Amino acid sequence: MTRKRRGTVLLVVLVFLINLPIVHSTITNWRVSSSGVDVTAEVTDARVTSPDDDPRYWLGIRFSEDIDPDQTIWPVEVDPAAYDAALEARQIEARVLKSNPAAFRVDGEIRGWLGLITTLIADAILLLILLVVRRFGRRPGPPPLRLAAIGDVERCPPGGLVEQIEGSLYLVRGEVVAIEEGEVVLAAGELEVIVVLDGHANPVGYQQPAQVRGRVME
């Protein structure tokens, strides 16, 4: 795999990992909306955090055993009106996935924006790093070497090699990065080598190590 391809794969993996929680949350919310069932959950606990500065209202709720056999207490933040009503009735209306009691929403629930904001900031930082690398970190590589093959392309162990045998005759080893009509392109380390087959065979497939001898074309 060439350095450019490795960099692209790494970038895709980073974007996937950064956005996975938000994507998962969005899919879960959609499933709750489309496939969830409406139930009444028991309120087992209630508390107010930061009551003087910025009060936040939390409930501990529990679903019936047919929904949640483990009888887990699930914390959820709600608005003041929903908190007062739930505290008085000791129950609250909810919508939940039968197959996954952790996926639910309740009346008056407050959903935080921290996850989305954190993801957007991480995406922005990643984009900024990418732009800086493309602007200042890119080094112009050497121009491609163009050879006329004097024999068939052969399989070989992995690795890059450009060896001058004699005069304009070279031995090249590298990964096959492109196969065109009458040509094959090898990535030999930092150097790209375009090999004109000139009637010779190429039995080596894409992204496989290959070697060939050829003369430099003017």
Chain segment 43-91, per-residue pLDDT in tens: 999 999 887 778 999 999 999 999 999 999 999 999 999 999 999 999 9
pTM of the entire predicted model: 0.52
pLDDT category of residue 117 using cuts at 50, 70 and 90: confident
> What pLDDT does 22 receive?
80
Is residue 94 within 8 A of residue 104, CB to CB? The reply is yes
- In DSSP terms, 215 is beta-bridged to 148, 169
φ and ψ at residue 96, rounded to 5 degrees: -145, 150
Q: How far is CA 156 from CA 35, 50, 145, 161, 175, in A?
A: 55, 68, 20, 11, 10
What proportion of the chain, given as a percentage, has pLDDT over 90?
Answer: 59
Q: What is the pLDDT of residue 5?
A: 62
pLDDT at 12: 79
What confidence score (pLDDT) does residue 118 get?
80
Q: Distance between CA 200 and CA 67 in Å, rounded?
A: 69
Predicted pLDDT of residue 123: 84
Rounded Cα gap, residues 63 and 90, in angstroms: 12
CB 68 within 8 A of CB 62: yes
Taking residues 106-118, what's their average pLDDT? 81
